[in-house]
A = this chain, B = another copy of it.
Amino acid sequence: MADTPGASEPSLDEQIAAYQREFQDLDPQVEKVVSALSRLNRRMNVAYGRQTAELGISNAEWEVLKALVLAGAPYRLGPGDLAKRLGLTPAAMTHRIDRMVAEGLVTRERDESNRVRVIVGITEEGRGKWLEAMRMATVFEEDLLQDLSGEERGRLGEMLTRLLRRVEDAQPDAGGRLSDLD
Interface residues of A (CB under 8 A from B): 3-4, 6-10, 12, 15, 18-19, 21-23, 25-27, 29-47, 49, 59, 69-72, 77-78, 80-81, 84-85, 87, 111, 113-114, 117, 131, 134-135, 138, 141-148, 150, 152-157, 159-164, 166-168, 170-171, 173, 175-182
Contact = CB atoms under 8 A, between A and B. Distances in A.
5 contacts: A3-B117, A8-B84, A40-B163, A47-B171, A147-B163
How many subunits of this chain does the assembly comprise? 2
A31 B70 CA distance: 13
A30 B33 CA distance: 19
A69 to B, nearest CB: 5
A157 B41 contact: no
Contact of A159 (B152, B175, B176): B152
A7 B81 contact: yes
Given A3-B117, A117-B3, A144-B163, A84 B43 contact: no
A157 B47 contact: no
Given A70-B18, A164-B12, A142 B43 contact: no
A116 to B, nearest CB: 11
A65 to B, nearest CB: 11
A83 to B, nearest CB: 10
Contact of A40 (B85, B87, B145, B160): B160
A110 to B, nearest CB: 13
B59 A178 contact: yes
Most chain B CB within 10 A, of A25, A30, A155, A160, is at A160
